[in-house]
Structure 1
Amino acid sequence: MNAREALGRYGEDLAARRLRAAGMAVLERNWRCAAGEIDIVARDRDALVVCEVKTRRAGGWEHPMAAVTPAKAARLRRLASRWLTERWIARYGRPPTGGVRLDVVGIWLPDRGAPLVEHVRGAA
C-alpha cells in the first residue's frame, strides 16, 4: 500500500467510525464495479446512504469537500443506482423506504492534533 492509499484508508476508517457514532450501520466499504467505487454504503434508519470520503493533509490548497465536483456527484448517483440494483433490490426486492441519500465526509489532517471530521448529509 502506498502513502496515498494509506491516507485514504485512514480517512475511510475515521469516516466509518463517525457514521457508526451517528447511529448508522455501515453495510459495505470500498464497493467496486467497472464504473467506479463507492467508499462507504450505510443505512440511516430506513434510508440508504452512499458516502464519499475525502481526506486531505494540512497545507493543501483545497478543502476536502471541494473535491466533490458536479461530475463526481453525478458519478456517485450512477454508482448508487447500480449498488441499489445489484445489492439491495437483489436481496430485498424493493428500494429502501427512506430512499437513497448521498453524503460526503471530509477529513482534514492538521500537522498537529486530532483530525477534523465533517459530515455533510445530502451533499451531492
Structure 2
Amino acid sequence: MPQPSDLRQKAENVASRLRQARKSAGYETAAAAARALGIRISTYAAHENTQNGIPAASAAHYASAFGCDAAWLIGLAAEEALPEAAPTALIPLLNTLVVEIRRLNSLLAGAL
C-alpha cells in the first residue's frame, strides 16, 4: 500500500508536469490556460497546485490542448522532461479562436 508521502510526491510530480506542459504550450498563467480551455480558473488552479487530483478526462483534455501525452502528464511515462510533441506554438491561438467562435455563436443564437 502506498504511503501518504509517496502519494503526495506523485501529486506534486503531476502538478509540476501540468505546469510544464501549460508553459510549453504558451500559456504564462494558469488563469490564461483556464480561460482558453473554457473551464473555471479555480478548477484548473486546483489541479496545478495539488489541491485536487486530475480526473482522467481532464488529463486527456489538458494533454490535447497543451500538445503533450496524457500518460506523461499523469506520470505513467517515465520521462522526466516534457516529451517532444506536435508543434504547439499555435495552440494558444487556436484555443482563443475556439472561444471566440463559441462567443459569436452564442450572440447569433440570441439574435435569432
Q: Which of structures 1 and 2 has the larger relative contact order (alpha carbons within 8 angstroms, sep 6+)?
A: 2
Structure with more strand by fraction: 1
Normalised to the residue count of structure 2, the TM-score between the two structures is 0.36
Q: Indicate the structure (1 or 2) with the bigger Cα radius of gyration.
A: 2
Normalised to the residue count of structure 1, the TM-score between the two structures is 0.33
